[in-house]
Each structure stands twice: as C-alpha cells, then as structure tokens.
Amino acid sequence: MKKIFLIAALAIVGTAAFAQKKNVKIAEIATWDTETPNFTEARQCIQQAMTDPTTANQAKTYQVAGLVEIAYFKFNSGSLNDDVYSALKNAYPYLLKAVELEKIPDEKGKVSNKLTKVIAKELETVQEYYYYGGGHFINAGDQKSAYEMFSIMGDMCIQDFMANSKINCQDTMHMQARYFAAMTAVQMGDYDSAIKSLDLAKADNYNACDIYNAYAYVFEQQKDTANLISVFKEGLKNIGAEINGKEYAFLPRLINVYINQNNTDEAIALIEESLLENPNDCEYLKLLGSLYYEQKDEAKAIETLEKAIEIDPTYAEAYGEIGRILYNNAITISNQVSEIQDNKAYSIAREEQVKPAFLKAAPYFEEALKLDPTEFSYMNSLRNIYYNAEDGVNLERIEKMLGE
C-alpha cells in the first residue's frame, strides 16, 4: 500500500514538472513559431514557470523569459514607447539570472554555456537601444527607468559572458551611457547608485569635471567630509586649472571645507601654494590675510592685505579687512583702558591710546566706503570709530549716511 502511494506521488510530481516545462515550451512557441506572436500567452506561461518550484531555478526558464521580452521589443520596434522600451529593460535581469543558473554544474558535474551564448548574441543585437531607451525615459521624465537603461548598457561591458561580443565599450555611446547613468542617479538622490555609476564613468575621462563635481555634490549631501576632501584633491591633481574655474571652483571649495573645520593651517597651505602660480590673485591674498589674522599674526595679515591693495587699489574688501583688524585692536585697547581706576590716568589713556587706535582704522574704512558706498558694515564701523574718537563732525556725517 505504501509502495503504491509512493508511486502515485512520484507520478503527480512528474506531471507537475512536465506541466511547467510545457509552459516554457508554450512561451517559446507563442513567441517564435508564428508570424503573429502571442506575447500575452508567452508572458503568462513563463511567469507560471518562474514561480513553480520545478522550473523556478532552471536557466532555460529565465532565458526564455528574457528572450520573450526582447522579441516583444523587436516586434514593436516600429513604434517605440514606454511599454516597448520597458520590455527591453525587463529582459536584462531575466537574462542575467539565466547566465548565473547555467553556471551551476548539473548532476554529472558538467557546466554548459549553450544558453549563455544565445543570450550574448541577442544582447549584442539590441545593445544600442538601451542607450536610446535611456534617452527616451529622460525625455518622458522617468528618471528611474532612464537610470536602469543607461546602467544596463554599462553593465554589459563588465559581464564576462559578453567578452567576445561585438561591443566597443570605449566608444562615445558607451561612455555617454555611463555618464548619463551617473548624472541621473545623482539627480534622483540615489547616492549609493550614483557613487557606483560615477566609479564606472570616472575611468572614461569623459566630461571629467562634471563627474568629479557630481562626486563632490554627493559627498556634500551625505556630509562625508573625508571623501569630499579626497575628491577635491583628486580632481585638482588629475584635471588642474579647468576644474578650478568659476563653474567648479574646486580649490576655493576645498579651502572652505578646511575653514569650516577650523583647519586654518591646511587652508593657508593651499592658498600659499596657489599664490606661487598666481601671485597677483587679490581674492586669495585677501583671504590669506584674514586667515593670518585668525592665527593672531596681525602684522603678516596686514602686510598680505596691503599687497592685495597694491595689486588692485580698487579692492574695497581688502581695505575693509585692514580696517576690521585695526578696529578690533582698538576695541581691545579700549577694554584694557576701561580697567583703569584712576580718573586722570584713564583720561590720559583715552587720549593717547584709545582715540588714536580707533582713528588708525578710519582711513581704511573711508576708502572702502568710497569704493563701495552701499556697504552698511563700513558705515557702521565708521560710526563706532568716530563715536569712540569723539569726532563729532565725522560722526554726524556718517549718521546722515545711515539715515539716523
């Protein structure tokens, strides 16, 4: 009785397996053995085969699933739309799974690549349409699908089973596909995918400035300062002046990172290195002067700012920065004098130390204001200077300018 039951059970399993294999065959026939393919039937049958345990892990199942979608794409290639390109997109993961499954040795320990050869040949015939499909989805506003299409074209270039195919992975189309995949991932905010795609695109040296800039943007969004500094340095080393232009400005951005980290030494070192090549860069001289001041080297700060003014006598910010340094020094002196308890000594110190210190800053702010008459900070500083120096005439003049 048990023996009969076992035989019956085996018969049921065998019938189920046969039914699913039949589904795979039906999908093939519905696709290729007719002038008018029945893609609806083919898809239904292959979906059933992919979910049944008896065929779900067979390479043939997934090969047919992928080739059905490619056949659908080819049959409808005269009217390319979202649906037709989506079929091409959906084919790829099926085919990759078929390739992986075919690598598994059979019960005799043998490995075949019969199905894989067919897959490689089919992908070779449609490779460029992944690029066109990416462009189609970009225009349709479907960034996710665009990214997938561009990425597939790039992925084919790193698949071993495509090594002998007629694919020129270094032609412009392939480089653009990798570039567009990276840019699309960045725009989507999918930063993990963006970094993966940027890594592939960077090797092409295609639109290299944009690639490095995209890296920088991603690391900025992720607040990954260590990698941000690395990509700024690598970009400057590998590309140079082009990536330091106004559009990308890698050096100023790197300097700002160091400044925001309170790493003044690194910022100064970068500026000094840059000034060796461009000694007349007034903006860097002004910034360098400010950083020297932060390091409490007032003399060196003023010397550097004076050099910027010598190069460009109309550079208002350099005058204003010297004025700020001298003004702060006057505040320090004023606070020290305020500690004097003796009234006579205090009055003498005010006349001999405080007032001259404030008035020393005045000419620089006056010149800065002359060059930039709308800058409120210059007027405000001058008002405080003339108030502390007890210069009523100039105080009244500045207050009128402030509308007071």
pLDDT tens by residue, 307-329: 999 999 999 999 999 999 999 99
* Helix (H/G/I), strand (E/B), else coil: 394: helix
pLDDT of residue 32: 76
Q: Are the CB atoms for 270 and 287 separated by under 8 Å? A: no
Q: Is 19 within 8 Å of 53 (Cβ atoms)? A: no
User: What amino acid occupies position 305?
Assistant: L
> What is the DSSP code string of 153-211?
HHHHTT-GGGTTSS--TTSHHHHHHHHHHHHHHHHHT-HHHHHHHHHHHHTTTSSHHHH
**How many CA atoms, within 13 angstroms, populate the side-chain half-sphere of residue 403?**
2
* C-beta of residue 274 within 8 angstroms of C-beta of residue 251: yes
Query: At residue 80, what is the residue type?
Result: L
- Is-contact 328 337, C-beta < 8 A? no
Nearest residue to 383 (alpha-carbon basis) of 369, 402, 372, 398: 398
Structure confidence at residue 20 (pLDDT) = 47
Q: What is the pLDDT of residues 120-141, one digit of tens each?
A: 999 999 999 999 999 999 999 9
Q: Judging by beta carbons within 10 Å of its beta carbon (0-12, 13-18, 19+), is residue 263 exposed, middle or buried? A: middle
- Residue 270 is predicted with a pLDDT of 92
Per-residue CA distances from 14 to 8, 10, 87 (Å): 10, 6, 33
Provide CB contacts within 8 A for 63, sequence distance 6+.
94, 95, 98, 102, 115, 118, 119
Q: In sequence order, what are the residues at sequence separation of 6 or more whose Cβ sits closer than 8 angstroms to the Cβ of residue 78?
A: none
**Residue 308 near residue 286 (C-beta atoms within 8 A):** yes
Domains of the chain: 18-206 (1.25.40), 331-404 (no CATH)
Residue 8: predicted pLDDT:
36
**pLDDT tens series, the chain, 404 aa:** 333 333 333 333 333 333 445 788 888 887 877 778 999 998 999 999 999 888 889 999 999 999 999 999 999 999 999 999 999 999 999 999 999 999 999 888 888 899 999 999 999 999 999 999 999 999 999 999 999 999 999 999 999 999 988 888 899 999 999 999 999 999 999 999 999 999 999 999 899 999 999 999 999 999 999 999 999 999 999 998 899 888 999 999 999 999 999 999 999 999 998 899 889 999 999 999 999 999 999 999 999 999 999 999 999 999 999 999 999 999 999 999 999 999 999 999 999 999 999 999 999 999 999 999 999 999 999 999 999 999 999 999 999 998 87
- What pLDDT shows up at residue 188? 96
Asked if residue 258 lies in contact with residue 264, where contact means CB atoms within 8 angstroms, the answer is yes
Cα distances (Å, whole numbers) of residue 183 to 90, 212, 357: 22, 11, 56
Give the span between the Cα atoms of 159 and 163, in whole angstroms: 7
Q: With contact defined as beta carbons under 8 Å apart, do 183 and 142 qualify?
A: no
Cβ burial of 324 (10 Å; 0-12, 13-18, 19+) is: buried
